[in-house]
Structure 1
């Protein structure tokens, strides 16, 4: 039993899109992120480029040693029920990395809100030099959901700029991972997906001083 690479890539694209579509707010800066995606299942891999808009907010300036709050507020969305000719039963084990910016000290991270994310509450915390949002799921195919609002609290350094970005530099160091469970020939198949932004633009920039 084999999955054609193009069809497998389409499954990944249909699955990843709602995870990254973030709702706009009046003060948000909207940017388009080009994610390089690789999906793997049944010994095959497929690659594609996925374009998504990201909304992010942070203060334009801050005094040395001052508090900086970066907020990402996802909009409600719907898990696709099919993609590439395959039924999507669910997606699960979602992890999104956000590096701790230079010229800032990490204080805390929190999530609020969210719905349709499974029985386990979303978790967020520091892992090395990253803040990682984790959603265990499962998120059923065709179901409505809303990722939680993420707030990063930082303390400004003495000078320079605090620039926030999404994590990931390559397939071996992805910034986004998840598993899509698809139905192939009547059987559930886990399609592991990894992604990174290319290029990786600055989402917010806060000048110290």
Structure 2
């Protein structure tokens, strides 16, 4: 006797299979958000007077899933808190800063598949950009940004594909010293009545992990 059971139609089977693949490709737990204080130790090097040390208080809010399946793609975003340009450093007036560069390592144990910027305010007339150089991401803000002005950097959005199971994908800023900075910019400072372009190097001190995603 011929069975009266009906077989699933082929298009339905394919649709279910594609749905399963799509879910596996994007498998990640719900994103969590953490705000982390990140203060920068900075050193300006005028061409006439000696190096000038100062600090810039800041912070980063990172949004990333707590866990993601190996081979899945997940988003991470890094948003800096508003930063105020010093109006003066050790008695020297800061007129403006320009060519600001903030660097961060591309997270280990993952492949970077996409990157973009959004938002930002008080950044001057230049257009910010996000580029890669080797294993480093570089956020560049041409400026100029006036001394004493508060600005907010664009939010950095990353698309990452998780690596091997049992590893961790972490985000962090770059920089460990004045000679290995994670933040640089040029400051316009009048010295003896003349405007001088002063290169400035900063690094996060301390440099905490901003987000951490376990690969399962």
TM-score band by shorter chain is 0.7 to 0.9
CA–CA distance in structure 1, aligned partners of residues 125 and 143 of structure 2:
7
CA–CA distance in structure 1, aligned partners of residues 90 and 41 of structure 2:
18
* Counterpart position of 1:36: 41
- CA positional deviation for 1:197: 2.4
Q: Based on CA coordinates, which of the two structures has the bigger radius of gyration?
A: 2
* Counterpart position of 1:21: none
- CA positional deviation for 1:198: 3.6
User: Residue 74 of structure 1 is aligned with which of 80, 83, 87?
Assistant: 80
Structure 2: gaps of 5 or more residues: 1-31
* Counterpart position of 2:123: 117
8 Å contact from structure 2 (residues 58, 82) kept in 1: no
Q: SS of 2:58's equivalent?
A: strand
Kindly report which structure 2 residues correspond to 1:43-122, keeping only aligned pairs within 5 A, or say none: 43=48, 44-48=50-54, 50-76=56-82, 78-122=84-128
Of residues 172-181 and 72-81 in structure 1, the stretch that sits farther from structure 2 once superposed is 72-81
User: Do residues 201 (structure 1) and 187 (structure 2) align?
Assistant: no
Calculate the aligned-residue CA RMSD, in Å: 2.1
CA–CA distance in structure 1, aligned partners of residues 141 and 104 of structure 2:
15
CA deviations on 1:1-56 (whole Å, 9 max, x unpaired) are xxxxxxxxxxxxxxxxxxxxxxxxxx531223343322200242133555533221
Closer, same or farther: CA 171–141 of 1 in aligned 2, 3 Å? closer
Q: SS of 1:206's equivalent?
A: strand
* Counterpart position of 2:190: 183
Q: SS of 1:28's equivalent?
A: strand
CA–CA distance in structure 2, aligned partners of residues 122 and 157 of structure 1:
30
User: Residue 176 of structure 2 is aligned with which of 160, 166, 169?
Assistant: 169
Q: SS of 1:73's equivalent?
A: strand
CA deviations on 1:139-195 (whole Å, 9 max, x unpaired) are 122445332111121111022100111101332221111111112232112221112
Q: SS of 2:170's equivalent?
A: strand
CA–CA distance in structure 2, aligned partners of residues 38 and 87 of structure 1:
15
User: Do residues 140 (structure 1) and 110 (structure 2) align?
Assistant: no
Closer, same or farther: CA 173–79 of 1 in aligned 2, 3 Å? closer
Structure 1: gaps of 5 or more residues: 1-26
CA–CA distance in structure 1, aligned partners of residues 196 and 161 of structure 2:
44
Of residues 68-77 and 104-113 in structure 1, the stretch that sits farther from structure 2 once superposed is 68-77
- CA positional deviation for 1:75: 4.4
